[in-house]
Chain A
Amino acid sequence: MDTSRYKGIYLQEAKAHLSDIESGLLSLERDPSGKETLDSLFRHYHSIKGMSASMGYTPIMRLAHAEEDLLDKLREGKLGLTEAMTSALLKCLDVKRELVGKVENNEPLDISIDPFIDELTAASKAGPSQAHPGPAAANLPGIPPAHAGGLRLSNVMRVEGRVFDELLATVGDLFMVLSSFKALTLESRSIELKDGVHMLGKTVGSLHGSILSARMLPIEDLAAGIPRIIRDLTAGSGKEVSLYTEGMDISLDRAILEGLSSPLVHIIRNAIDHGIEPASERIANGKLSIGSIRVRAHARKDRAVIEVSDDGRGIRKEALRKKAAERGVPLEKTAAMPDKELLKLVCLPGLSTAGKVSETSGRGVGMDVVKDAIEGLGGTLDIESEEGRGTKVILELPRTTLITKALIVGIGPERFLIPISRIEKVIEADTGAEDVFSYEGASVPIVSLAPLFGLPERDGRSHTLVLVDGSPVLGQNGESPLAALRVDGFGAEIDAYVKPLLPPISKLWGASGMTMMVDGSPVFLLDVQQLISRSLERAI
């Protein structure tokens, strides 16, 4: 190749590539995974390499070759960009500039480039975390640390999620063992045994607490993906949606958060597909052209409430009644239903998946699936909607999983567990056959559990009333949220390692989980909301 003829073109193009490389590297520092930047940087290095090889400018070619290699690994995702890489690449850039200057001035290319290539190699070998060039013998006696920090391990460890599942299951077993020791202390007079078991209980409790908190993740970790979902769903739809979030720092057990993922996407998809109107329709209705979706979370005792609301069309209740009628729910019944209960019908299987409901009701694709998933997590789902104004889906979920403080209650020959988080007070009362109980000036409905489970009611007038928080079934419009569960008697408060109900009993009515007692007998954890709603014939 007659190089003299091409030197002018080489210089002109090489300089342009070098300045593009500089701006590329800087923008890469702001966005290390920018695919387009990585691709174009790769091409610039590749071009310089090829041109320099053709011209016989070996040092520039070798540098560009090493840089091209690194960029190739970065764009393939085999390496993650580190600060050490960027600074090595910037140093190489400066050397190349110097070399190109020498080409221009017809000077020999007498710069040793090996140290720069070595630094590049070291930076790419140090891996995606922090790059420390060379081994640092920081803590050996007599050898000064290579640099200020020496070798340091991060305070944050990566642990597989299942390790925490196993830890928690082990603590569950510990609780069961503890329960049998506790039973022993009741019969024993040994102060040492009682003290020992007490201490053991405190230690297991604090171990449990540590594991639970290690499993917690902020909702933010899940919500971070929502903007992208919104972007994808609105693309080309003529709709524009802004997302507002609040309380995303509330943390939930990882398993629950994971289970929340697909219901949440489903709810947001419904909001965009069926709730938010196209911009033109919104403007015609006097709304802002950009729709909004709000995801708000707050903690309620040991549960988290997550609300997803949109300012779209809302659910057309007349259409919903008509659809429900087609599915066998008579119009007379739905006409008398309060809104809250009517909206629940969106979650009826079959109705919600019916082709046209999404258009007429403005919602409802697979809401039965969403409801099942949320209930499977021990949570509840509520819908509020106003035609023309929007829809709000309210999810209430336990924040932690599996180990629940619960009270043992007896109904006839059977034992059940009531979650302590729901209990306000336990009262022995002579209520006879009354169906309301007066408590602190409020009239509290009595829910007798025996008939609900088809168990014989004990004779006699004296019963135990367990006052429980019945929200959100109760407590609307200023009424008391309390209900009184009537049982025959109560026993100890235990830490129950509650296992979710799996097939074939996954749909057991009135229960949300089960645990094994020390004697090996299974006991069900009662689903308080479901019981109240069934008994008082109110929608959950």
Chain B
Amino acid sequence: MPPKRVLIADDTEFFRTALKDILSRAGYEVVGEASNGAEAIELAMTLRPDLVILDVVMPAKNGLEAARAISALNLPLKIVMCTSLGYEPIVEEAVKAGASGYIIKPPSESKVLAALKAL
């Protein structure tokens, strides 16, 4: 299996770094990082990743809006939401918006890998 190309969107460098570390160790290639929803949509179009991990609370389009917009592009990719505890109801909406999985923060290695495996 070739390494999957992943785009990470989170407004904190803290979580982007944490996710990138976990994914790299597991053999994924992080092809881009976005710090807001609008940037995530743009990078999804230009970088054509296989997987987009979207934080829910972000400026300039939140994760949910970004998920809707990216799904609407009809690209061959999967979307995984990354959200804090207490935001589970949003996950349901995210699934409607086109997401296939979710990770509850903080993103530990076991949680992230389990979520990606389930895709």
Residue numbers of A with Cβ under 8 A of B are 1, 5-6, 9-10, 12-13, 39-40, 42-43, 46-47, 49-51, 53-54
List of B residues within 8 angstroms of A9 by Cβ: 13-14, 17
CA distance A10 to B12 in the complex (A): 9
Please determine whether A50 and B17 come into contact, CB atoms closer than 8 angstroms: no
CA distance A124 to B34 in the complex (A): 35
B59 within 8 A of A: yes
What is the distance, in angstroms, from A54's C-beta to the closest C-beta of chain B?
A: 3
What is the distance, in angstroms, from A96's C-beta to the closest C-beta of chain B?
A: 16
Contacts A12-B13, A46-B84, A51-B14 aside, 4 further interface pairs with beta carbons under 8 A come to: A5-B21, A47-B11, A53-B84, A54-B14
Please determine whether A50 and B12 come into contact, CB atoms closer than 8 angstroms: yes
Residue numbers of B with Cβ under 8 A of A are 11-15, 17-18, 21, 57-59, 84-85, 105-108
Please determine whether A6 and B14 come into contact, CB atoms closer than 8 angstroms: yes
What is the distance, in angstroms, from B63's C-beta to the closest C-beta of chain A?
A: 12
Residue of A nearest to B108 (CB): A1
CA distance A1 to B22 in the complex (A): 10
List of A residues within 8 angstroms of B105 by Cβ: 50, 53-54
List of A residues within 8 angstroms of B17 by Cβ: 6, 9
The binding surface of chain A is classed by DSSP as helix
Q: A40-B59, A43-B11, A47-B11 are in contact. Are A1 and B84 (CB under 8 A)?
A: no
List of A residues within 8 angstroms of B107 by Cβ: 1, 54
List of A residues within 8 angstroms of B13 by Cβ: 9, 12-13
CA distance A53 to B11 in the complex (A): 16
Residue of A nearest to B86 (CB): A65
Please determine whether A50 and B58 come into contact, CB atoms closer than 8 angstroms: no
What is the distance, in angstroms, from B104's C-beta to the closest C-beta of chain A?
A: 11
**Which of B18, B57, B106 meets A46, CB within 8 Å?**
B57
- Lowest 10 A-B CB distances belong to which pairs? A54-B106, A46-B57, A51-B14, A47-B12, A9-B14, A50-B84, A50-B105, A13-B14, A9-B13, A43-B57
Please determine whether B14 and A1 come into contact, CB atoms closer than 8 angstroms: no
CA distance A538 to B68 in the complex (A): 65
Residue of B nearest to A5 (CB): B21
The binding surface of chain B is classed by DSSP as loop
What is the distance, in angstroms, from A122's C-beta to the closest C-beta of chain B?
A: 22
List of A residues within 8 angstroms of B11 by Cβ: 43, 47
CA distance A372 to B11 in the complex (A): 57
Please determine whether B58 and A43 come into contact, CB atoms closer than 8 angstroms: yes
CA distance A12 to B12 in the complex (A): 11
What is the distance, in angstroms, from A14's C-beta to the closest C-beta of chain B?
A: 9
8 contacts between A and B (CB under 8 A): A1-B108, A6-B17, A12-B13, A13-B12, A40-B59, A42-B57, A47-B57, A54-B105
List of A residues within 8 angstroms of B106 by Cβ: 1, 50, 53-54
List of B residues within 8 angstroms of A53 by Cβ: 84-85, 105-106
Q: A54-B105, A54-B106 are in contact. Are A43 and B14 (CB under 8 A)?
A: no
List of B residues within 8 angstroms of A13 by Cβ: 12-14
List of B residues within 8 angstroms of A1 by Cβ: 18, 106-108
CA distance A23 to B12 in the complex (A): 19
CA distance A1 to B107 in the complex (A): 8
List of B residues within 8 angstroms of A10 by Cβ: 14
Q: A1-B106, A6-B18, A43-B58 are in contact. Are A51 and B84 (CB under 8 A)?
A: no
What is the distance, in angstroms, from B100's C-beta to the closest C-beta of chain A?
A: 22
What is the distance, in angstroms, from B111's C-beta to the closest C-beta of chain A?
A: 10
What is the distance, in angstroms, from A75's C-beta to the closest C-beta of chain B?
A: 12
Residue of B nearest to A56 (CB): B106
Residue of B nearest to A47 (CB): B12
List of B residues within 8 angstroms of A51 by Cβ: 12, 14-15
Residue of B nearest to A14 (CB): B14
Please determine whether A43 and B59 come into contact, CB atoms closer than 8 angstroms: yes
Residue of B nearest to A10 (CB): B14
Of the candidates A10, A39, A50, the one having the most CB atoms from chain B within 10 angstroms of its own CB is: A50
What is the distance, in angstroms, from A342's C-beta to the closest C-beta of chain B?
A: 55
List of B residues within 8 angstroms of A54 by Cβ: 14-15, 18, 105-107
What is the distance, in angstroms, from B58's C-beta to the closest C-beta of chain A?
A: 7
Please determine whether B15 and A50 come into contact, CB atoms closer than 8 angstroms: yes
CA distance A13 to B106 in the complex (A): 16
CA distance A311 to B106 in the complex (A): 62
CA distance A54 to B104 in the complex (A): 11
List of B residues within 8 angstroms of A47 by Cβ: 11-12, 14, 57
What is the distance, in angstroms, from A68's C-beta to the closest C-beta of chain B?
A: 9
What is the distance, in angstroms, from B11's C-beta to the closest C-beta of chain A?
A: 6
What is the distance, in angstroms, from A23's C-beta to the closest C-beta of chain B?
A: 15
List of A residues within 8 angstroms of B85 by Cβ: 53
List of B residues within 8 angstroms of A42 by Cβ: 57
List of A residues within 8 angstroms of B14 by Cβ: 6, 9-10, 13, 47, 51, 54
CA distance A312 to B20 in the complex (A): 62
CA distance A6 to B106 in the complex (A): 12
CA distance A6 to B21 in the complex (A): 11
CA distance A40 to B36 in the complex (A): 12
List of A residues within 8 angstroms of B18 by Cβ: 1, 6, 54
List of B residues within 8 angstroms of A43 by Cβ: 11, 57-59
What is the distance, in angstroms, from B40's C-beta to the closest C-beta of chain A?
A: 15
What is the distance, in angstroms, from B20's C-beta to the closest C-beta of chain A?
A: 11
Please determine whether B84 and A49 come into contact, CB atoms closer than 8 angstroms: yes
CA distance A12 to B17 in the complex (A): 13
CA distance A10 to B59 in the complex (A): 19
Residue of B nearest to A54 (CB): B106
CA distance A54 to B85 in the complex (A): 11
List of B residues within 8 angstroms of A12 by Cβ: 13
CA distance A13 to B35 in the complex (A): 13
CA distance A12 to B14 in the complex (A): 9
Residue of A nearest to B105 (CB): A50
What is the distance, in angstroms, from B41's C-beta to the closest C-beta of chain A?
A: 18
CA distance A42 to B57 in the complex (A): 9
CA distance A142 to B13 in the complex (A): 59
What is the distance, in angstroms, from B50's C-beta to the closest C-beta of chain A?
A: 25
